[in-house]
Chain A
Amino acid sequence: AQSVTQLGSHVSVSEGALVLLRCNYSSSVPPYLFWYVQYPNQGLQLLLKYTTGATLVKGINGFEAEFKKSETSFHLTKPSAHMSDAAEYFCAVSDRGAQKLVFGQGTRLTINP
């Protein structure tokens, strides 16, 4: 079965520093990959997704992610953290032809002033 691993349940960075949130998936066939963000007591909002084509995907709020097939990874980055980026981030995958998403455990991002 498809699975997703997010390394680090909690990441803390200083305002203005690089944000790096890690995501690895298990699949012999490259899946479709998603990053969602959740603010406290709210639903999830799509940041970006990879389906086909360019492996570097740009999303909203200055985030981007790179699909690396050889490493089965889809890490999320942002060059300069802002206080408003504090939230929980979820990586998710779906198999080609499937309607279901499988989510990672989530990474809570804290921004220090």
Chain B
Amino acid sequence: DIVLTQSPGTLSLSPGERATLSCRASQSVAVFLAWYQQKPGQAPRLLIYSASSRASGIPDRFSGSGSGTDFTLTINRLEPEDSAVYYCQEYGRAPKLTFGGGTKVEIK
């Protein structure tokens, strides 16, 4: 089974700064990787799919990159509303999929 390891566990940054979140897969998933944002008490929201394609309605402050085993979610110009837990998800071995453990982003 593919294991996704997200780092860091928690990121504490100030408004206007850039957040860089990492997701590493235990084996190659090509570009079959998505990112989700989950705020407290809410369902997850799709941000990025195919490693770098923004989902509908997602601001261009959010960007994804990477392929194979190493992926990055970058959030530019952090806003207070970006405070959330971010999950990566692989779908390189359909019809199963796996989520990473999450990175919590705190806005100071």
Question: A and B: partners?
Answer: no
